[in-house]
Amino acid sequence: MTETIIGIDLGTTNSLSASVFEEGPEIIGTAQDACMVPSLLSRTGNGWLVGEEARARLISSPTNSVYSVKRLMGRGLEELEEEIRELPYQVEAAQRKLVKIRLGEESFTPQELSSVILSRIKEKAEKLLERTIEKAVITVPAYFDDAQRQATRDAGKIAGLDVVRIINEPTAAAIAYGLDEKKQGYVAVYDLGGGTFDISILELKGKLFKVVATHGDTRLGGDDIDRVLVTLFTQSLLDQYPNLDLEDPSSRQILRKTAEEVKIALSGSMEVEYILELPEKRIKHRGQLKADELSRQIEPLLKRTFDSCAKALSDAGLKHGDIDEVVLVGGSTLVPAVRKGVESFFGRTPHVAIDPYKVVAIGAAIQGHLLAGGRRDFLLLDVVPLALGIETLGGTFSKVITANTSLPAEESEVFTTHVDQQTSIEINIFQGERELVQDCRSLGRFKLRGIPPMKAGFPLVEVTFRVDSNGLLTVSAYEKRSGTEAQIEVIPSHGLTQMEIDAIMEASFEHAVDDFNQRQLIEFKQTAERVFRGIQMNWKIAEEILDEDQRFSIQKQMEIVKQKMTSEDSQILKAELDALGNLTRPLADSAMGRAVLEELQQQNP
């Protein structure tokens, strides 16, 4: 099969494309050449700025910039009264009860504007796939009517694309998980994006999905979660600075930006420290927020989504127990409280292994692949693509589950402390193939608290990684001597395309020798520190059993080791450490003998 039919998610906020490769369906793009195109446009004297290029002009030139054009597709002026009131650009009546957007002296239909975004996606796909793209499957919301679907098809045609199929976004999400391979059943697709919420109930008969009910809220999404955090931060600032004015544009922007960063960070951590810096007011405010506090604060928002879910179930004539599968779509579903709430409402674990930002485009790509005559003989998410593990002392990456381990998978490793009287341990979770965490991808972090004070090396902390068949990773830590435990759930495959995985693997091979040397260097430095502590603890014994020349040789060699600890050659450091070991062997033997004797005397008073 030579024909390529790509899948395109033409979104209100972001748009992206996907295709089916030999390894299976993936987003088209790399970390260096982002596949996601913000659905933003700005008109200049030289033509169009698209995506990130247009973002800055939303503020500097709002009347010449366009966003949320998807909301205008196939709709008349009367239908858009509420939306138009909030838009900075001018929307005017056109022929056949449709609308045009006026930018300066020019006017454009929503189809023309959407075609500019589609053209940019087409160009990026052709560049990355190194072939001409002529056909596509494009997704639309389930509630789009015939006029809106035709408008989407027209936009594709203007962009030079033959739109071979328009499919519903929830249907695409279900296809991405292979749910079209089931014979029958009901699928709930919970879609919580940046600004809107949709719930769709699909009925599967044979290989066809039928949307039996939809419901939603066009004014509910991740932006509202950000506003909850802004309110919290504002109150925290006012508690400390009662007369502070936070209504100016600069302060509001800083609060919103910090809120979004904290929300994202809490998707992979139990708590987050943040800094609110307001330079114009000479304020630098530090604070902490726990994930369970965010969960409590957004309960009213989540309840609104579940009220919509209940309405959709009622409209479909179904009960909670009738739903066979639940699929999550939209970036806001990465918030742990959202996932747990969905699981509680429907009584089953939702599918989360595919990045919710990308699942719709991937489903569209699979549909395009099948329409082009391709076979669905690939498996999705059947292995762990890259190693999973934790950060250990010195910034090294300790792998717990290795790459290409079949799912489901479970592995454990035992670690210990390196500081006396340590009562908590921070578990930092990473994914990658390099020796140091600085070269791997951070997935999340949590703390194991309440460890009784013990000497370094005495606690036994068992860290367990479990990845279920749905790709959901749970990491738990258990201190064996005290019974203290903690855990966190993260999504290991979030944001990784096959191209990125290949690039990471290739980099691990290219840097294998350097990485190994760096890891050894860190480990030998740690060994040297332990040796220094041991010598200092037993120096009184050294003064008793070693002559002055022997003690001088040890001290001199310690200085040499300290000097070599600043070098970048692990083997030189090892050689000097070995030399120090030979010099201190009589001391070590005597110290060990005395420790054994003292232990025997305590046991036989």
Residue 423 pLDDT class (50, 70, 90 cuts): confident
For 518, other C-beta atoms within 10 Å of its C-beta total 21
Architecture of domain 222-297: Alpha-Beta Complex (3.90)
- Supply the pLDDT for residue 364: 94
Distance from CA of residue 135 to its chain's centroid?
31
- Is 513-603 CATH 3.40.605.10? no
- pLDDT tops 70 at residue 106: yes
Asked if 139 and 167 touch (Cβ cutoff 8 Å), the reply is: yes
Q: How confident is the model at residue 603 (pLDDT cuts 50, 70, 90)?
A: very low
Per-residue pLDDT at 139: 93
Q: For residue 302, what pLDDT band results from cuts at 50, 70 and 90? A: very high
pTM > 0.85? no
The catalytic site residues sit at: 9, 70, 169, 191
Name the pLDDT band for 470 (thresholds 50, 70, 90): low
Task: For residue 137, report the phi and psi dihedrals to the nearest 5 degrees.
Answer: -105, 125
pLDDT for residue 599 is more than 70: no
Helix (H, G, I), strand (E, B) or coil at 395: coil
| DSSP codes, 465-533 | EEE-TT--EEEEEEETTTTEEEEEEE-TTTT--HHHHHHHHHHHHHTHHHHHHHHHHHHHHHHHHHHHH
User: DSSP letter string over 365-376?
Assistant: HHHHHHHTT---
Q: When comparing pLDDT for 199 and 104, which is higher?
A: 199
Q: What is the rounded distance in angstroms from the CA atom of residue 11 to the CA atom of residue 365?
A: 15
- Tokens at 98, concatenated: 């449709």
| pLDDT on residue 296 | 93
| Of residues 238 and 497, more confidently modeled | 238
Query: Where along the chain do its domains lie?
Result: 5-177, 222-297, 388-510, 513-603
Per CATH, which fold does 388-510 belong to?
Answer: Substrate Binding Domain Of DNAk; Chain A, domain 1 (2.60.34)
Is the confidence at residue 563, as pLDDT, over 90?
Answer: no
Model confidence pLDDT, tens digit, residues 515-535: 667 777 777 887 888 788 878
> What was the pLDDT predicted at 383?
58
Residue 602's pLDDT is what? 44
Per-residue pLDDT at 144: 82
The answer to whether residue 381 scores a pLDDT higher than 50 is no
471: confidence class by pLDDT, cuts 50, 70, 90: low
Instruction: Count Cα neighbours of 141 within 13 Å in the Cβ-side half-sphere.
Output: 25
Of the candidate ranges 231-235, 352-356, 380-384, 424-428, the one whose mean pLDDT is the lowest: 380-384
The answer to whether 333 and 192 have CB atoms below 8 angstroms apart is yes
| Mean pLDDT across the chain | 83
pLDDT (0 to 100) of residue 419: 80
Q: How confident is the model at residue 405 (pLDDT cuts 50, 70, 90)?
A: confident
pLDDT (0 to 100) of residue 365: 94
Whether the CB-CB separation of 580 and 555 falls below 8 Å is answered with no
Residue 331 carries which side chain, given as an amino acid letter? G
Q: Per residue in 433-458, pLDDT tens?
A: 888 888 888 888 888 888 888 888 88
What was the pLDDT predicted at 595? 53
Q: Evaluate whether 323 touches 348 at the Cβ level (below 8 Å).
A: yes
Q: Is the pLDDT of residue 385 over 80?
A: no
- Rounded CA-CA distance 485/398 in Å is 20
549-558 average pLDDT score: 86
Q: What confidence tens digit (pLDDT) does each residue in 26-69 have?
A: 888 865 566 788 888 998 878 899 988 888 777 677 778 888 88
Q: Does the pLDDT at position 411 exceed 70? A: yes
Listing DSSP states for 241-260 in one string gives -TT----SHHHHHHHHHHHH
The residue that leads in pLDDT, 63 or 14, is: 14
Q: What is the pLDDT of residues 180-190, one digit of tens each?
A: 777 789 999 99
pLDDT of residue 338: 93
Are 521 and 570 within 8 A, CB to CB? yes
Fold of 5-177: Nucleotidyltransferase; domain 5 (3.30.420)
Q: Where is pLDDT greater, at 199 or 183?
A: 199
| pLDDT class of 137 with cuts at 50, 70, 90 | very high
Backbone φ and ψ of 23, nearest 5°: -80, -10
Predicted local confidence at residue 594, as pLDDT: 56
pLDDT tens by residue, 327-348: 999 888 988 899 999 999 999 9
What is the pLDDT at residue 184? 86
**What three-state secondary structure class fits 357?**
coil
Residue 515: per-residue pLDDT: 65
Look at 318 and 378; give whichever has higher pLDDT.
Answer: 318
